[in-house]
Amino acid sequence: MPELIYCWRCKMDVPMLTEDEWQLVNPTGLVEQIKRYREETGCSLAEAYRNNIGATSLTAYEALTGFRETNPAALMHHRLKLYGPLCTSCRKPLRTPTATFCAACGAGREV
């Protein structure tokens, strides 16, 4: 079961995926799939989502995590590799792997 970690964009704890888990959720390349669909149809990103582009990834994410996500774009940032270590003060992840301080509480990164 993926670890629950705070997501800065969603503003809540969500199951974050390892790279192996990400490959299970994103087998066809969600970004590429959406881009190709939009180029073929000329639709907006919102229209692509309304037309269930990304539904396969959402279903896989729910099967893997037990968490029902409704926005395929949110899956793009539910990957552990995009975040830094947990802050030693507030336990939220640093926003990036190279962050030098915690954006939530201001504590400096311990090395």
Q: What is the pLDDT of residues 71-111, one digit of tens each?
A: 888 888 899 999 999 999 999 999 999 999 999 999 999 87
Cβ partners under 8 Å of residue 36, min gap 6: none
Return the sign of the alpha-carbon dihedral for residues 94, 2, 31, 44.
Answer: negative
pLDDT tops 80 at residue 28: no
Q: Is 77 exposed, middle or buried, given 0-12, 13-18 or 19+ CB atoms closer than 10 A?
A: middle
CA distance 105 to 6: 13
pTM value > 0.85: no
